[in-house]
Amino acid sequence: MVNNINKLADLGIIKAEDLTNLKIVTDKYSLSISEEMINLIKKGKKYSAISKQFMPSLNELKEDEFERSDPIGDEKFSPIKGIVHRYKDRVLLKTNSACAVYCRFCFRREVVGPSGEKLTQEETNEAIKYIRKHKDVWEVILTGGDPFVLSPEKIGNILDSLDTINHVKIIRFHTRVPIVKPRIISENLLKVLSNRKATIYIAIHINHESEMTEKAKEACDKLAKKGFPLIGQTVLLKGINNKTSTLEKLFRIMLQAKIKPYYLHHPDFANGTGHFRVTIKEGQKIMRELRGSISGIAIPTYILDIPGGYGKVPIGPQYLKERNELNNFVEDINGRLHIYPSK
């Protein structure tokens, strides 16, 4: 793992003369790139989509008036440390602040970092107590950071506690580990995840087909063979995957790896991420083109997290164009309007 800007220079990935300026970036926003991703970055242009996601850039020092340190409003909905309770039936349980890699577009980039702060046992107990008290909580989403960088023992202890809460029926892990550091998906971890009272889902973050290495496929296959449903989260990123053909390849590869594309996230207004941003209009155009070119099971929901903590909403495109008392006017994938009776 590389978490020092000087090491990137030693590896010949960045120029020595760029060190001083890039250190300003990494002093502000954490740097960590797994060995697996470093090896791909070193191969050059073919893996530029990976380099752009994890390598620091001076563009990160540019901020605009819309950006903020907590773009989706987690703090507003955090009653106690480690818990975010935005929706009635589910909570986030933020187990730790460390990740196997630090994405340069991360919406939690202000709080994740190499300190790897974990919830203490007392804080974890309080979080579990909160979940136990709130009977409407049907789903617990383990996130952070990345929960899969915790030891299997720690993950097992958390799951053991959740096993004692009868109203928790779904446990979801949000992780990049199977893609960026697949060796963590060990037999020990699989054993810890298995045979739980709640159904476990694994939400895997992947943004470009070049991330899906043979080792990543093997890691996903291990999880799938244990019966865990895999769903995929992708962020729409300028210069990385904001082309219909790029996302078509990615979503096909994900399905082949038993990952159902779940969400395509419009990029959040995180500080210093403007160079990754695309317009909603551009995203809708891509989604419209995907609808006509790939299977429906390969198409995720295109969503926007409303700034300030107001939640996720689907943002189209919209095929029902207008309506009156007699008829609806529906657009097909080729842009032609059709009449569909209102009755």
Position 96 pLDDT exceeds 80: yes
Residues of the chain above pLDDT 70, percent: 99
Domain 62-317 sits in CATH at 3.20.20.70
Contacts of residue 220, defined as CB under 8 A and 6 or more positions apart, other chains included, come to: 178, 204, 230, 257, 258, 259
- Contact of 45 with 35, CB cutoff 8 Å: no
Separation of alpha carbons 319 and 305, rounded Å: 22
List the structure tokens of 110.
Answer: 């202000």
Residue written as token pair 């987690």: 74
Looking from the CA of 201 toward its CB, the CA atoms found within 13 Å total 16
Position 196 pLDDT exceeds 70: yes
Separation of alpha carbons 173 and 260, rounded Å: 15
Global confidence as pTM: 0.93
Q: Where are the domains of the chain?
A: 62-317
What's the pLDDT at 116? 61
What's the pLDDT at 115? 63
Q: What ranges make up the beta strands (E) of the chain?
A: 83-87, 90-94, 139-143, 170-175, 199-205, 230-235, 259-265, 301-305, 312-314, 320-323, 327-331, 337-341
- Contact of 190 with 222, CB cutoff 8 Å: yes
Position 113 pLDDT exceeds 80: no
Q: What is the pLDDT of residues 279-338, one digit of tens each?
A: 999 999 999 999 989 999 999 999 999 998 899 999 988 888 887 888 999 988 888 999
